Structure formats: structure tokens, C-alpha cells
Amino acid sequence: MKFPTPQTLETIAYLIGSDYVGDANFPVFGMNEIHVVQPGDIVFVDHPKYYDKALQSPATIILINRKVDCPAGKALLISEDPFRDFNKLTLYFKPFQSSKSAISQTAEIGEGTVIQPNVFIGNNVKLGRNCLIHSNVSIYDNTIIGNNVTIHAGTILGSDAFYYKNRPEKFDKLLSGGNVVIEDDVDLGALCTIDKGVTASTTIGEGSKLDNQVHVGHDTIIGKRCLIASQVGIAGCVLIEDFVTIWGQVGITSGITIGEKAVISAQSGVSKSLPGNKAYFGTPADEFRKKYKELASIKLIPDIIEKLDKLP
């Protein structure tokens, strides 16, 4: 998430009430999660296990809960609660805007696009040409939709990320300041939910087709011409490369990569990254040949036990 105008380290420290290490005029251009940070971004870290990852990331401003040695060319924001203060910045730079009408006056709608009754289109939405948006679709603020996109009834674009910190007294929500991007020629079935990114974009690539009741978590990127069947659940920060096929009721854990042209069979559970150009099934999902050998071996167990029982 980039700020509307460049900020300084001193200004950001003032906004969150923190100390800082570095030049007061050190430039700050935005804030992002660790997997999408760029130079000029703030990244937050609140556990020693991840200090080095944050300090050595491309981010040049680290919001951290302990004073540590600052890498050359970077700056620190010292906070007792980086999670809380990251939320403060999201609220300041991307505050919630209530809507005054079903279709916001700030929305841009392309020529030839058809919007059926009872559709909600939020603030600053960009909707391309020749799209068809069926009834009861909700398109939250800042969503970007390309040309020739079809979205079926009840689908929601831009719901909040499912991202919480477990505190002793409650679950504390990480606020979402990102958006959803739907590229050209995408079809979304009925009752799909596409969560917006925490600070970046959740993206559905050109020509991809999602069946009914598919869930896509925050900051996930789905490549071009992917085919995803009904009731698939994809967690946050997943990278699905081009031409991937995922059949019904597959569950995919967060932060992994599915390689180009992979095929995942129905009801599989994907718990690790999978290379492309291969077919997978099972829980945990693995290559077809390997899984079939495992199943064949399991079927032999009763006979093996029976033979062992007959031994003298």
C-alpha cells in the first residue's frame, strides 16, 4: 500500500507515538507485508524469530518491538506493539468510507457493462467494458475489474482478510488496506468470496474461471487461465501460477506456490508447495503415482497381519 504522498520517518513516528532510529527525514513511501515489501515500505515484526527476515527484507523501515542494530541504509520505528501501530497507520492512510448509495458516484463503469438489480458497488471501484454483474453482487471499495468479466449472483469482492493476533483477552484483527484486482475475461460463479489484500492486491488473472462457492484468501494471486471448481478454499498469500486446474473441495494452506499447469484432484488437502506440470491428489496432496502406491500398500496390510498371526 503506497501513501498518497511521501512521508518522513519523523512524521510516521509521530502518528504512532513511537521512537525511531535513523534520519528524521528518511523517506517513507508506503507499508506492506513481508512477502510484498519494496524499498521505501514499512514492514512490522513483533517476534524475535522473524527479526532477521524483516531486517534483511527489501523494506527500508522496520516497525519492531525491540531496539536492535539497524542495517545500513534502513531505519527503525521502535514500538511496544507493532501490530497495533501497523493498524493505526492503515486507519490513518486508508480509513473506512461509508457509502451513500448502492452504486457509488466515484465508481467508474465501462461502456457496455450491464449491472443487474440489487448490486452494490463501493467507492473508487473501476469496472471495465462489456461486463455482466448479476444481482446481489457486492463489490467493495477500490476493487479493479477488467473487461469482459462475468460475476454471478451473491459473489463478494473485497471482504476483509481473515488475519488475527491471538491476545490473552481477545483475537485482535489486522486491518485490511489492500484491494481486489480481477483481470480481463474472468468468470466468477455464484457465492464466491474474494478477500482483499492486507496491504496489496488479491488478484485473479486473465481468463481464469471460478465455479460457485470458491473462497480466495487475502493477497493470493491466481494466474492466467486457471480453472477452479466448486467449494475450493484457498488461504491467504498463495501463488497459483498459470494454467492450473483445481477440482472441487480442495483446501490449500497459506503461503505456498502451486506450479504452472498443475492439476489437483477433488477433495485434496494441499499443505506444501507443489511443482508444476504434474497431477496430485490426497491429503496431504502428492503425485498420483506415489499416492496410488501408498493406497495399494495399505490394502495389503490385512493380508500381512493375517499371515503374521499364522506364524508359529
**What's the rounded Cα separation, in Å, for the pair 14 and 19?**
8
- pLDDT band with cut points at 50, 70 and 90 for residue 269: very high
pLDDT for 288 equals: 84
pTM of the entire predicted model = 0.92
pLDDT for 296 equals: 84
pLDDT at residue 309 tops 80: no
Give the CA angle between residues 257, 262, 268 to the nearest 5°: 80
Helix (H) or strand (E) holding 16: helix 9-16
13, 19, 58, 151, 270 from 24: Cα distances, Å: 9, 11, 20, 48, 46
**Are the C-beta atoms of residues 244 and 225 closer than 8 Å to each other?**
no
- pLDDT band with cut points at 50, 70 and 90 for residue 290: confident
pLDDT for 298 equals: 84
3-class DSSP state of 63: strand
pLDDT for 297 equals: 85
pLDDT for 293 equals: 84
152-156, 165-169, 174-178, 285-289: which range is least confident on average? 285-289
The span from the first CA to the last CA of the chain, in angstroms, equals 72
pLDDT for 289 equals: 83
The cell numbers describing 136, all together, are: 446481489
- pLDDT band with cut points at 50, 70 and 90 for residue 214: very high
How far out from the chain centre does Cα 33 lie? 11
What is the average pLDDT score of the chain?
96
Would you identify the CATH topology of the domain 2-93? Answer: 3.40.1390
pLDDT for 168 equals: 95
- Dihedral (CA of 288, 220, 141, 86) sign: positive
Q: What is the pLDDT of residues 170-201, one digit of tens each?
A: 999 999 999 999 999 999 999 999 999 999 99
Mean pLDDT, rounded, for 13-17: 98
pLDDT for 234 equals: 98
3-class DSSP state of 86: helix
Q: What is the pLDDT of residues 249-262, one digit of tens each?
A: 999 999 999 999 99
The answer to whether the bond into 302 is cis (omega within 30° of 0) is: no
Percent of the chain with pLDDT over 90: 91
- Cell 519494496, located at residue: 38
At the second CATH level, the architecture of 108-288 is 3 Solenoid (2.160)
Catalytic residue numbers read 218
Q: What is the pLDDT of residues 42-94, one digit of tens each?
A: 999 999 999 999 999 999 999 999 999 999 999 999 999 999 999 999 999 99
How many CB atoms are closer than 10 A to CB 241?
A: 18
Torsion of CA 118, 119, 123, 127, to 10 degrees: -150
Q: What is the pLDDT of residues 123-151, one digit of tens each?
A: 999 999 999 999 999 999 999 999 999 99
**Tell me, what amino acid is at 185?**
D
Q: Where are the domains of the chain?
A: 2-93, 108-288
- pLDDT band with cut points at 50, 70 and 90 for residue 304: confident
pLDDT for 173 equals: 97
* 64 exposure class (CB count in 10 Å sphere: 0-12, 13-18, 19+): buried
